[in-house]
Structure 1
Amino acid sequence: MTSVMAAVGLIGVGFGTGSATADVANGGTAPMRQVYRSCDFSVAKYVDASGYGSGHATIGTGGSGTVTADVFLMIGRPNTPYQVRLIQGPRPGSQTCNAGDPGVMSAVLNTDGNGTGSVTLRDAVRSGATNAWVFVDGPPDPGEIRGEFYTSEVLTSLQ
């Protein structure tokens, strides 16, 4: 019995593991996590998360020259507007990714009484763009600099 348990443990640890790509295929779904990212998709250090929500974004082009992101948030703050940005990359860390910047489309996601909401964003694929990701942020509490935030866990390929 002990040798069987050891063999099962080794299978779980050693087999089926390999290096995975950091991109999700065009039209794929990427989970969102409470990770604050810079505009170049790098993780910003020393920024604490404050929310309890989660969600996902399905991003793709459908071969049309237009990028679409279907964003779903759950366990957010009830009856709250969140700003959602669809950010096309690559972009340097020195370039901003605010609403209205080139390669950035934004919309408002309003949650219901349960803290659940969804929104769809569409934008023309920017020349040279090879990937896209989503940044969701809510309003800050009084006296705070930023509210809760959620970003795509991985980049989505636009190829």
Structure 2
Amino acid sequence: MFFYCSKMGPIRSRRERLLQSRARRMRRSDTDAEAKLWNALRDRRLGGWKWRRQTPIGPYIPDFLCVEASLVVELDGGQHADRMDYDDRRSAYLKRRGFRVLRFWNSAVLTNRDGVCDGILDACGGDAPRQDEDASSPAPRAGEGRVRAGS
């Protein structure tokens, strides 16, 4: 038995439902550094790359994820100095899943967001590959592009 969430697809186990719920809570209560970096990443603002915020990958919820570039960005506060073993296990898991992991201190984002964004963009490989003009052109507005019968 599984539950279906229209935006996220099927959620199959209690553990996955708990992780999804936790991720939602984390998105609602982000830190100042997370909010500042998210403002630079969201809506393809950084080089055209699509970013997700606090999305579960296995048992972990990374701060930021770019699937297209196979890149995870983690922001570390003061508590991470005491949790280095956990962070190492988490990074190893993500690397086994094919992701590269970048870590920045919260203070770096708060004092030098542009420098952090430059590092992230470099790790992505520069600007995102552009889609064909045909694929990126907007759909016609209502009533445009249609031929009426008898016209």
User: Is TM > 0.5 for Structure 1 vs Structure 2?
Assistant: no
What's the TM-score once normalised by structure 2's chain length? 0.27
What's the TM-score once normalised by structure 1's chain length? 0.26
Q: Which has the higher helix share?
A: 2
- Higher CA-based Rg: 2
